[in-house]
Structure 1
Amino acid sequence: MAHEETLPWELIEEILSRVPPESLLRFKTVSKQWNALFDDKTFINNHKTTFRFILATKSKIYSVSIDPKIAVCELTLDIPGLESQILKSLVDGNELLLCDMEKGAVVWNPWLRHSRWIDQDSNHTKRESYGLGYNNKGSYKIFAACDRKENPNQRLLTIRDFASDAWKDRESGDNSQQVKPVKLHRKTGVSLNGNLYLVTYYEKTDLVYHLTKINSSSESIVIFCDLPCGTTNFDKDALVLRVFEGDRFSLLKQCHATKKIELWVSKYKINNNLDREDVEWIKFMELSSPNLPDLVDGSNSQPSYFIGDKRLVVCSCDETGRVWIYVLGGNKLISKTQIDSVVDLWPSHCTFIPSLVPVPLAQREEPAELQV
């Protein structure tokens, strides 16, 4: 039998890093080795088309790549009829993105160019999405706040379960262990292990802020843990929660008065089975250089950020509404770059973690067959 020649694995990785992500999704079935490679965050981060931030104006959406240099590309949602609708907000769902529109929402994987339209319930008004989660059966859910048309002063939690493909309203107090209602520091949360976590407080003068957990399986709402940062200047300080290394939390805080930045991470991975956990936080980075930027812009919009290669990379708007990318590390500002190609001021922005997670279908939808 003739000797079968194979390419070195390093060369195979380099070739696959140039393959469009849509094709990688199909190639997962080639071998166990390829499937493991595509699940490797290092491979995804080093892919030639990887981007780390999404920017959205009233008319356009952009991706922002960081390495090896900052590059901006225009994106499209590829859903007919959305041209006339204004995008209200971007919500990072960890591996998927949620785009709130005027009359509904879009669940989107911009890296795979997969998207799905979600109709708004006709009985709802003023809907604002908190984020995405999924239950122990793998069914995705959208968690949002809304008002009922018949009672516009009643703010409630509504849930869109992809399995039933319908909205379900949850009255305040239903299946909740909260003794005293909490208030949201930010309207959007962070998805980890399928559950949704939001930064909350009881009063602005409280000494401790908390993480409140919405369990995607039971739909219960509980205080999960305390945050390490203490009180904040509510309107001026930056306070942003993110997922760190796939199974932990990170928390960025910047004091508006001093510009000092503190970056905390949870020491151990988060236990998905607990509704209350004594999370141990460690200070990952502290920056107090006098030339640090103010990360909360004039509209009190919070920054977006990720941690990579011992660097803190931040996207935020300045006081004029222009977008900047800041790279920080070693107690100093390493670089700052203005995104000139985004002409409109004060765009929405969020961090995006590229993934090969396809947008979940409704129960009645069938996946398209591949033509061989």
Structure 2
Amino acid sequence: MMTISDLPEELESEILSRVSAKTLWELKTTCKRWYALFRDPRFVEKNKKLGKAVRESMLRSNDMVYSMAGDLHSSYTPIKLTGKLRDLKGSKDLYSSDIFHCDGLMLCSNEGSSKLVVWNPCTGQRTKIKARTCGSNDIYALGYSTSSSSSSSCGHSYKILRCFEFLNDQEVWVPQCEIYELCSGSWRVLDSFSHDYFEYCNGMSLKGDTYFVARDKETGFFLMKFDFTAERFVRLPLPFQSIHSEDTATLSVVKDEKLSLLHIDDRSGVMTIWVTNKIDDDEEEAKDFSWNCYLVVLLQMGFDKFHLWSVESFLLDEENRVAVCCRYKYMGDGGRTSIYIVGKDMCEQVYEDTIKPSKANYPVVLTYLPSLVLVQTKRHT
């Protein structure tokens, strides 16, 4: 009887590339050939495109990271936390005050700590990284530059962006950006940048680059992109103009192809969601970049009691024209993380924390496709 191992290697590889990444990782010890194949950058990239992976969900709340079960796009299915996510050996819970997703990898950081973790939830691989200094207002992002000569998975060179401020000898706060390259295990200062603004929301990774909603006093809100290949910041337009600091503006990614923006006008109580056109890997910054209005919700008509003006993160369901909104809900005993399904004529709560937080901790909900991307293990010394 013929088995898969009897097939030509090219055909065997073609068949396996269509299997989900999680299943393949469970099969990695089947034979040495498969173990090597699952670590081959070309196969990893092919599996990302062809593999029958199912999106998984995470919630970061109260410094903990949880896996989630339930249909995030259904108001009839309560969302449940299936357990705290743990470290590689399963002996300790994974603590994180912030989490950033890129290409199936997670960057976890803790406020006031110089320790970072890059982690692949699918394979369990992780590497610890130490920042050069500690800070309380650090902003981190994970991305990659693409190089045909790169030895990293899928031809990508993974990097960490760190933005922060430090007090110089004249006791003046000075902005600074640093880059950490996982392949070399070293930090370096990014000299050429202008930081006359501040990031308004957590960044989102798309095609290896990171996008922030930023704001300055003169022009108000705008979109800021960090190009990890060119290692530079680029300003891009937003579909609305506002200098009102109480407005809410939050980014999300749709099917790893487009950006989505949720804006809540604090004065009118109108929530609007826009979606960009498809962003290609080789697309120039301003070329053909456009926004389309996708959903408008008048929060003041029937939604007052939910006070959705404090949405921290969201996911967009294009097919059902609803948004999954995650927020920090202020209450008498401190506050809770809550998740709502919001549409043109609906607003349903599907989850709320039962744990009283020790401090305000702004939650993040995200979905990701499990990937075989390898976590580089060279450490900073």
**Shorter-chain TM-score tier:** 0.7 to 0.9
Q: Is the 8 A contact 1:313 1:325 kept in 2?
A: yes
Counterpart in the other structure of 1:312: 323
Counterpart in the other structure of 2:207: 193
Q: How does 1:336-351 map to 2 (within 5 A)?
A: 336-344=349-357, 346-350=360-364, 351=366
2:371 is the counterpart of 1:356? yes
Counterpart in the other structure of 1:213: 225
Q: How does 1:1-372 map to 2 (within 5 A)?
A: 22-23=25-26, 39=49, 43-45=53-55, 50-51=56-57, 53-58=58-63, 60-67=64-71, 69-78=78-87, 87-93=96-102, 95-101=104-110, 102-121=113-132, 123=133, 125-126=135-136, 128-137=138-147, 138-147=156-165, 153-171=173-191, 174=192, 176=193, 181-186=195-200, 188-203=202-217, 206=219, 209-223=221-235, 225-231=236-242, 233-235=244-246, 237-270=247-280, 272-288=282-298, 290-292=301-303, 293-297=306-310, 302-310=312-320, 311-320=322-331, 321-329=335-343, 331-344=344-357, 346-350=360-364, 351-363=366-378
Letter in 2 for 1:338: Y
The separation in 2 between residues aligned to 1:323 and 1:41, in whole angstroms, is 33
| Deviation string, structure 1 residues 243-286 (Cα, Å, up to 9, x no partner) | 22212111111123333211100134345341333522111111
Letter in 2 for 1:169: V
Q: Is the 8 A contact 2:168 2:174 kept in 1?
A: no
The separation in 1 between residues aligned to 2:43 and 2:178, in whole angstroms, is 41
The separation in 1 between residues aligned to 2:90 and 2:52, in whole angstroms, is 37
CA RMSD of aligned residues (A): 3.9
The separation in 1 between residues aligned to 2:178 and 2:44, in whole angstroms, is 40
**TM-score scaled by structure 1?**
0.74
The separation in 1 between residues aligned to 2:45 and 2:211, in whole angstroms, is 30
| Deviation string, structure 1 residues 223-258 (Cα, Å, up to 9, x no partner) | 2x20002215323x2201122221211111112333
The separation in 2 between residues aligned to 1:163 and 1:193, in whole angstroms, is 19
Q: Is the 8 A contact 1:90 1:349 kept in 2?
A: no
Change (3 A) 1:182 1:148: closer
Change (3 A) 1:113 1:332: farther
Structure 2 gaps of 5+ residues are 5-18, 72-76, 148-155
Change (3 A) 1:343 1:109: farther
Structure 1 gaps of 5+ residues are 5-15, 366-372
Change (3 A) 1:348 1:98: farther
Q: Is the 8 A contact 2:251 2:261 kept in 1?
A: yes
Query: Among the aligned pairs, what percent are the same residue?
Result: 18
Ranked by relative contact order (alpha carbons within 8 Å, sequence separation 6 or more), the top structure is 2
Which shifted more, 248-257 or 82-91? 82-91
**TM-score scaled by structure 2?**
0.73
